[in-house]
A and B are shown apart, each in its own frame.
Chain A
């Protein structure tokens, strides 16, 4: 009788303790991440911290080099050229460019044009409103006049490349190369260029795309 009761208690108590212990270890709820203080584990793929790091280092290098200073004392007018994604991941290259663009603009030395782009203007509004010329429906004094738009004098182009290496111990090494160049459109000369490398090493079965 006593033995039966002991077995019965053991059957209930042990699973309950085990369940509580496992429940305490596993975080099942969704959590917000403080992007200013993220201590999350690294991943083999590119995450926002990598883009932030590459963009931050590049914009800091560009600004401190003095390449963006207009020799005439004004502000450079920048257009964004082609940024190639040569990785095995689907990457929106804007993830790299947006922080660079806003930091450059914030520096007060550069303005960006959205009216010119290699695949058409980034914002088509500037041209669209010009089609309102001679429309009787619009007060022509409020329609943008001819010769008002400012052409860019420099462009930003670059690429993100990836290289995979299997190491002797079976682990994978992924190398990401972020490359950017600032070109003077009038002369075609490269004013500044830089390459930042982010290297990650992980288990061979980790997928990075």
Chain B
């Protein structure tokens, strides 16, 4: 009888230890996936209306291009999004590139937002996505 109880305790302890070890070794990934130095702000309720969001910058063309990818969730949502480009020394690139653009995201449909910097020296980007009341 005592042996059975001890065995149960042993099993439970080893199970807990195994689970604990798994939890500590699991890598914690950042969400949304944004390249270092850049920023992606999802204003309420956009965070709950999107999933698998990521931000990358392509520099293969003559001007840097930011690509935001994701998938819609829950409900059809009209959005407005803007980009703010910054040079390597942290100065904001002024001009029309920081205007709000309009788009619509649909549940379970993948979408891509793309914007090109107006100057080649643009290094990092701050992207803001908010719900639109005008669509």
Contacts and interface: CB of A to CB of B under 8 A. Distances in A.
A53 B134 contact: no
A interface, size bucket: 20 to 34
B25 interface: no
Contacts of B118: 59-60, 63, 103, 106-107
Contacts of B98: 36
A108 B93 CA distance: 13
Contact of B96 (A39, A59, A69): A59
B119 A41 contact: no
B7 to A, nearest CB: 65
Nearest to B80: A39
A66 B118 CA distance: 12
Main SS at interface, chain A: helix
Given A41-B134, A103-B97, A108-B120, 14 more contacts: A36-B98, A49-B99, A52-B99, A53-B102, A57-B101, A59-B95, A64-B63, A66-B62, A69-B62, A102-B95, A103-B95, A106-B95, A106-B118, A106-B119
A33 B109 CA distance: 35
16 contacts: A38-B100, A39-B133, A41-B133, A49-B99, A52-B99, A53-B102, A56-B99, A60-B97, A64-B63, A69-B62, A102-B95, A103-B95, A103-B96, A103-B97, A103-B118, A106-B94
Interface of B: 61-63, 65, 82, 94-102, 115-116, 118-120, 133-134
Top 7 A-B residue pairs of the complex, sorted by shortest distance between their CB atoms: A56-B96, A42-B134, A64-B116, A56-B99, A52-B99, A103-B95, A99-B96
Given A60-B115, A64-B61, A69-B62, A49 B96 contact: no
A55 interface: yes
Interface in A43-97: 49, 52-53, 55-57, 59-60, 63-64, 66, 69
Contacts of B120: 108
A131 B38 CA distance: 54
A69 B61 CA distance: 13
Given A60-B115, A103-B118, A55 B61 contact: no
Interface of A: 36, 38-39, 41-42, 49, 52-53, 55-57, 59-60, 63-64, 66, 69, 99-100, 102-103, 106-108
Contacts of B116: 60, 63-64
B128 to A, nearest CB: 9
Contacts of B100: 38, 49, 53
A183 to B, nearest CB: 21
B104 to A, nearest CB: 13
B96 to A, nearest CB: 4
A110 B116 CA distance: 17
A99 to B, nearest CB: 5
Nearest to A66: B62
